[in-house]
A and B are shown apart, each in its own frame.
Chain A
Amino acid sequence: MERLIIAVAVLPLISALFIQLFAGRFGRSIARLSVAMTTLSFLLSGLLLALAISGSENLAIPLGSSAAVLLFDPLSTLLATIILGISLIVHLYSVRYMAEEAGYGQFFVLLDMMTAALLFMVIAGDLITLVISWYLVGVILYFLLGQDTRSQTAYRFAFWTLITYRLGDLPLILAAALLFNAYDTWSLTIIFSEVMANPDAHQVLGLPLTDVVAALIGLAAFARSAQFLLHTWLPYTMDGPTPVSALMHAGIVNAGGFLINRFAPVFIHSSEVLHWIFIVGLITAIFGSLLMLTQNDIKKALGYSTMGQMGFMIMECGIGAFSLAIYHMFAHGVFKGTMFLSAGGVINQAREDDGIPKDELYTFAVEKRPNKARYPWLLMAVVTLLVPLVILVFAHLLVSEDYFQKQGAIVLLFFGWVTGAQLIFATYKMRSQNVWRLVGLSILSLLIVVLGYVFISHAFDQFLYPDAAFQAQLYSAANIDSLSFDVLVVIVTLIIVSGWGMTYFSEQYGHRRAQKSKRLWLNFYALISREFYVSDVYTRLSRTLLTMSSRLNVWLRWL
């Protein structure tokens, strides 16, 4: 077992070293070695995952006599397999995609090093290995994004990524230093067992250590997972090669969710931090989705889509659904990776034939011509609001009867209900010969999606956090008092329902919109089109710092 884990992490490193040394001799065929090593590592990680699923004991494996420790546990084996799976696809894709590019061998060296850094990050059993791999991911990504060394733009945005990642390193380093000072060990296993045994044993500046560490870990995760105000690098890093974009959006950006999961024992004992994480995730999800919808550049739209998804992932952590965040990370990774890798093919196809069928969906979504026919409103309201709710409640009851005792579950249910209702609401308005058939199909797809999501996320829950008490603690750590929760649910429901009402009235009486509201709308559009001026503010701040640096040099006569 020990050798297996070490082999999984070390194989990509060996591949990188070999390519660096012999790329000149073997030419472009050297890429096959990289693919072979990644395949082997992927198979071994699959074997480890199978062992973990079959119930093998968790292990902490020291690397020689050093403080470095590798972990064999459900989280590390699952994520190692996902990383290697995505990395293998990216490797296979890159063999031909990058063939015409300069620095072909170097690209595979960096790709292998990135794979190794990500693997070490997820299997790290001590704080030093975790900090080192966390740090190196940012550095390697900088060079991967700057693969085209002729492009100043690619490097400009790679730099944004690097500096945001470095900012995210700082809280992790601080958290590591605080934990080491408190527990006198780098081992995560020992630290977590001591935190679980006596969570209030240590304080920092008068605050509980668990709160401070959880907040720092949250900050590190925000920078890595492009949460609002630390997101600007993500939509702009599209000048890098497509396989790198795929790897970044499908894997690297998810690291925030992993980090929060890894420190779950600390989050259980933190008081308010999960609530803040939820709020940041929620804001990111809203802003990401809003900005995605208003982009006219498809790549930036994809970038903002990832930002929105990362917001959802962090939000899931904030409600205590830690394992769901891992499932989200996996599902989003596969989905977004496919989108990026197939983008080239789709563009080529579209040049020959746009392939858009001029059917009901096209008329509704692209031509924006909704169905004018009227149906009995009460019947439609009942179908819209009740059907998704029944499906969600039924699916959740199938996996766990006490599911609705958790506030986090209610939040998830709420989101599912709103999404489902929105789906059915949109279906009526499509021009269709048989609207009931369309509604039926929508409900059927909703049923399949919800059942699939509920069963898989339940399986993830059982695998990652098999201890029911620990799982319950995660949810209860995210709880707020019942009255506030109920009030919030009512407020959010009112906001959503009034949103639907506004949409309806805007479509019915939009032409009568007052001049004042039009101006307001245009101002709002201007704000969105400038992406809320976040990157402008950062550019201004960095220019100020550089001006200050320059002036200092002049005043001090360059000495």
Chain B
Amino acid sequence: MPDLLSILLIAIFLPLFPMSMVFNALLENIKPNGLRVLLFILWPLIGVLIAINSEFVIPGWLLPLALSTSLLYAIRLLTLREVNQWTGFLATSTWSLLWLPVIEGNSAELLYGFAIGMSVPLVLLVLLAAGLERRFGAAYTGLYGGLARTIPRYAGVLVTVVIAAVATPLFPTFFFMLDMVVETISTTPSAALVLLFIWLFWSWAGARLIQGLIVGRASHNKIADMSIASISFYSIVLIVLMLGGIYLAGAIL
């Protein structure tokens, strides 16, 4: 397969602008939650699978394009209010950075590890958004707010998942970002700087999402909080994710 064609194909799954729009358009049109979850798990894995099985010369413009895509979606993330769309944009911003280990020639295991570690918090966020839609009719920041008082357990889990998604220690995306900064600082210091700003925008967007959902007065309506079984599920996944992050750190740092 010619190089450019390979790259274009991979660019759909490890999103590069404008191919990144394919994933977000698909996400907008898929309504069943099961399919959305599947999409978030499989999409980057397909990209990694094609990337490691294709032989192509990496052009010089790929790194700037990957970083620009990530930065573009990180900036756009700041003003998104719909949680599913927010998750899609964060996915686009994080997955586009998977090009960096591809360019660096990291092992397939590590690439799969990165992809899974980045996607799991996004999957959890999709599930939580579905829960919000069931309870309030929409998963939208600033619309109802006050989740911390109305459904405190749900709000607690939501906050932790958002924290995990925006590359906070000790979750895998944090170690991925740290590793990428270490890898790029000596060869392309400007790339390391862009990475750090992308990271900053994720935190900013995460804080805006949290504030729009959890802050405010309690709702007058009685709304069911998260069940103990669901909390246990989310807690176990998050603990495994954190342990995975520490394991990943051991492998890469």
**Chain A interface residues toward B at CB < 8 A:** 66-67, 102-103, 106, 128, 131-132, 135-136, 139, 142-143, 146, 149-152, 155-156, 159, 162-163, 166-167, 170, 173-174, 177-178, 180-181, 186, 204-205, 545-546, 548-550, 552-553, 556, 558-559
Which listed residue (A136, A163, A546) contacts B203, Cβ 8 A? A163
Please name 20 pairs of A and B residues whose Cβ atoms are closer than 8 Å in the assembled complex, sorted by A: A66-B250, A67-B253, A132-B169, A135-B168, A135-B174, A136-B168, A149-B149, A150-B215, A155-B215, A159-B208, A162-B203, A162-B207, A166-B199, A170-B197, A204-B189, A545-B75, A546-B79, A552-B76, A553-B79, A559-B24
Contact between A128 and B25, CB atoms less than 8 A apart:
no
Contact between A180 and B182, CB atoms less than 8 A apart:
yes
Q: CB of B50 within 8 A of chain A?
A: no
Q: CB of B58 within 8 A of chain A?
A: no
Whole-angstrom distance between the Cβ of A224 and the nearest chain B Cβ = 15
Given contacts A128-B249, A150-B215, A155-B211, contact A135 B169 (CB under 8 A): yes
Given contacts A139-B168, A162-B203, A173-B196, contact A553 B214 (CB under 8 A): no
Contact between B203 and A170, CB atoms less than 8 A apart:
no
Contact between A150 and B216, CB atoms less than 8 A apart:
yes
Contact between A132 and B170, CB atoms less than 8 A apart:
yes
| A554 to B, closest residue via Cβ | B79
Closest 3 CB pairs of A and B: A149-B148, A559-B21, A132-B169
Contact between B78 and A549, CB atoms less than 8 A apart:
yes
| B193 to A, closest residue via Cβ | A174
Listed residue (A149, A150, A162) with the most chain B CB atoms within 10 angstroms of its CB: A149
Given contacts A135-B168, A163-B204, A549-B78, contact A173 B178 (CB under 8 A): yes
Which listed residue (B28, B80, B192, B253) contacts A128, Cβ 8 A? B253
Q: CB of B200 within 8 A of chain A?
A: yes
Bound-state Cα–Cα, A167 to B204, Å: 11
Contact between A151 and B169, CB atoms less than 8 A apart:
no
**Chain B interface residues toward A at CB < 8 A:** 21, 24-25, 28, 72, 75-80, 85, 146, 148-149, 152, 155-156, 159, 163, 168-170, 174, 178, 181-182, 185-186, 189, 192-193, 196-197, 199-200, 203-204, 207-208, 211, 214-217, 246, 249-250, 253
Given contacts A128-B253, A177-B181, A181-B182, contact A556 B207 (CB under 8 A): no
* Cβ–Cβ < 8 Å partners of A146 in chain B: 215
Bound-state Cα–Cα, A279 to B210, Å: 38
Given contacts A163-B204, A559-B28, contact A545 B78 (CB under 8 A): yes
Query: A-side binding surface: helix, strand, loop or mixed?
Result: helix
Given contacts A66-B250, A155-B211, A162-B203, contact A556 B182 (CB under 8 A): no
| B145 to A, closest residue via Cβ | A152
* Cβ–Cβ < 8 Å partners of B253 in chain A: 67, 128, 186
Contact between A550 and B79, CB atoms less than 8 A apart:
yes
Bound-state Cα–Cα, A233 to B250, Å: 36
Contact between B75 and A552, CB atoms less than 8 A apart:
yes
Which listed residue (A149, A159, A174, A556) contacts B196, Cβ 8 A? A174
* Cβ–Cβ < 8 Å partners of B186 in chain A: 181
Bound-state Cα–Cα, A152 to B212, Å: 9
Whole-angstrom distance between the Cβ of A516 and the nearest chain B Cβ = 46
Whole-angstrom distance between the Cβ of B39 and the nearest chain A Cβ = 15
* Cβ–Cβ < 8 Å partners of A102 in chain B: 149
* Cβ–Cβ < 8 Å partners of A132 in chain B: 169-170, 174
Contact between B25 and A150, CB atoms less than 8 A apart:
no
| A138 to B, closest residue via Cβ | B203
Contact between A131 and B178, CB atoms less than 8 A apart:
yes
* Cβ–Cβ < 8 Å partners of A545 in chain B: 75, 78
Whole-angstrom distance between the Cβ of A185 and the nearest chain B Cβ = 11
Contact between B185 and A177, CB atoms less than 8 A apart:
yes
Which listed residue (B24, B72, B207) contacts A163, Cβ 8 A? B207
Contact between A152 and B216, CB atoms less than 8 A apart:
yes
Beyond known contacts A66-B246, A132-B174: 9 more, CB 8 A cutoff: A149-B146, A150-B217, A151-B215, A166-B203, A170-B196, A174-B192, A174-B193, A556-B21, A558-B85
Bound-state Cα–Cα, A524 to B204, Å: 34
